[in-house]
Amino acid sequence: MDSPFIYSQPVMADNFVGRKDELAWLSANLSNLQHTVLIAPPNYGKKSMVMSAFIHLQKEMVCRYGTLDLFNVRDQASFYTELANVLFNAVCATSDEWASTAQQLCVRTQPQVSVDDSRQNEIRLLFDEDRLMLHADEILNLPEMLADVKNIRLFVCVNEFQDIDFFEDAPAFQKKLAAAWKAHQKVCYLISGSRKNAMNAMFAAKMPFYNFGEIIPIEPLNEKLTVDYIIKSYSKSGRVITKDFAEQICRTTGGYPYYVQQLSHLSWLNTRGFVNDTVMRKSEEDLYDHNQRVFKMTVDTLSTSQVNYIRAVIDGIDRFSSAESLAAYKLHSSANIARVREALEKKEVLEFLKNNKPVFLDPVFELWFRRRYMHK
């Protein structure tokens, strides 16, 4: 029997749980062509929410949307090229339509239309990089021109948006991109990113994308709804989990959607009937095992001072600059603490709330660090 829990891909229908309010908010924004920003850690349900919102939207209206993933885009020329191809793929059906649309709207960049037989007749626009960079504004305004010429509602989704920070001269590029897209009236942009601290910085006051769109906060899963979902999923598969153990799954994972599904899946695999304490202990150890390679890679990027600061956070220290804390955790000085905090924020290990309280972005990493790295 297949597990009822899905954690390795976006979830839909009955497996999409605990996002009713956020989904309604996002759907309303899309219906009103309101630019929207989704900020949450990796595997937090952003893609599932977007997919569900567009399924709902397409029942209400005729629209087109394209998704630009920036996880492997590291320079401006690649950005323009991928953006143009995503847009054409969303609105053009045939190679002839690609060619005629490119001739009409890409007058200065002059791309060639290529059909790759080895990839199921994949159609792509190919640009001369020098000409593309010289006339980049044409591509930045392509979404608005396509929506106008095709007389359609066009939605542009951009995933891992924070990765434009890797581009050469990133501040100037952000300024140019924001100026172009803020002027568009016929296109709706849906921007998401999984490096939470980097995204928050990009959309902060005095930054080019400040007030670009409405930011929808994505919170941990609602515990009651999630507990009900876990119990029902178990029941449908002929196995039983009590409310207490379902609540334990939610609290262990901090309501983090990926880990909720993963730990539910592991506990389901480890029982043939009823979940008990032994099953839950083994399942939690399995959870650490499954994620240990990634967690160790994270720790390998940390300096000794950064590791020591994390130890202090887990120990509940709140006066990091006191003489006792500096000595006990070898943090050296207040200036060093400031550098450590900034580094841990950039590495997306911790976020700092308005009261400067450090909080782990990944609750399971925190548990793994405590129980396996610190052996507590």
Digit-coded pLDDT (tens) for 117-174: 777 779 999 999 999 999 999 999 999 999 999 999 999 999 999 999 999 999 999 9
- List CB contacts of 324: < 8 A, sequence separation 6 or more: none
Token pair of 22, please?
Answer: 């956020």
DSSP 41-88: -TTSSHHHHHHHHHHHHHHHS-EEEEEEE-TT--SHHHHHHHHHHHHH
CATH architecture of 301-373: Orthogonal Bundle (1.10)
Task: Write down the pLDDT at residue 116.
Answer: 81
Question: Picking from 85-94, 117-126, 334-343, 355-364, which range would have the lowest pLDDT averaged per residue?
Answer: 117-126
> 123 pairs with which residues across the strands?
115
pLDDT digits (tens, 9 = 90+) for 192-224: 999 999 999 999 999 999 999 999 989 999 999
Question: Which segments of 237-302 does DSSP mark as H helices, in order?
Answer: 243-253, 257-269, 277-300
* Rg, C-alpha atoms of the chain: 24
pLDDT digits (tens, 9 = 90+) for 249-298: 999 999 999 999 999 999 999 998 899 999 999 999 999 999 999 999 99
User: Do residues 71 and 162 make contact, with C-beta atoms less than 8 angstroms apart?
Assistant: no
Alpha carbons 373 and 376: distance in angstroms, whole number: 8
Q: Identical fold at 19-217 and 301-373?
A: no
> 66 pairs with which residues across the strands?
156
Residue extents of the structural domains in the chain = 19-217, 223-297, 301-373
What three-state secondary structure class fits 250?
Answer: helix
- List CB contacts of 341: < 8 A, sequence separation 6 or more: 309, 350, 352, 358
Task: Write down the pLDDT at residue 19.
Answer: 83
Alpha carbons 156 and 64: distance in angstroms, whole number: 9
User: Kind of pairing, strands 214-217 and 36-39?
Assistant: parallel
From 3.40.50.300, 3.65.10.10, 3.40.50.720, 1.10.150.120, which CATH number describes the 19-217 domain? 3.40.50.300
- List CB contacts of 293: < 8 A, sequence separation 6 or more: none
Q: In terms of pTM, does the model score above 0.85?
A: yes
Q: In a 10 Å sphere around its CB, with 0-12 CB exposed, 13-18 middle and 19+ buried, how is residue 182 labelled?
A: middle
Q: Residue 13 pLDDT more than 80?
A: no
DSSP 226-248: HHHHHHHHHHHTT-B--HHHHHH
Q: Residue 365 pLDDT more than 90?
A: yes
Task: Write down the pLDDT at residue 151.
Answer: 93
Task: Write down the pLDDT at residue 25.
Answer: 94
Task: Write down the pLDDT at residue 1.
Answer: 64
The mean pLDDT of 98-113, rounded to a whole number, is: 96
Token pair of 190, please?
Answer: 């849906």
Task: Write down the pLDDT at residue 12.
Answer: 66
Alpha carbons 60 and 153: distance in angstroms, whole number: 12
Task: Write down the pLDDT at residue 171.
Answer: 95
Q: Residue 23 pLDDT more than 80?
A: yes
Q: Residue 341 pLDDT more than 70?
A: yes
Q: In a 10 Å sphere around its CB, with 0-12 CB exposed, 13-18 middle and 19+ buried, how is residue 324 labelled?
A: exposed
Task: Write down the pLDDT at residue 230.
Answer: 96
Task: Write down the pLDDT at residue 37.
Answer: 97
Higher pLDDT, 2 or 261: 261
Q: Residue 18 pLDDT more than 80?
A: no
The closest alpha carbon to 225, from 23, 27, 77, belongs to 23
Task: Write down the pLDDT at residue 376.
Answer: 58
Alpha carbons 101 and 342: distance in angstroms, whole number: 47
Task: Count CA within 13 A, CB hemisphere, residue 177.
Answer: 23
Task: Write down the pLDDT at residue 14.
Answer: 65
pLDDT digits (tens, 9 = 90+) for 43-95: 998 998 998 899 888 888 888 999 999 999 999 999 999 999 999 999 999 99
Task: Write down the pLDDT at residue 354.
Answer: 83
Token pair of 172, please?
Answer: 């100037």
Alpha carbons 321 and 318: distance in angstroms, whole number: 9
The mean pLDDT of 20-46, rounded to a whole number, is: 93
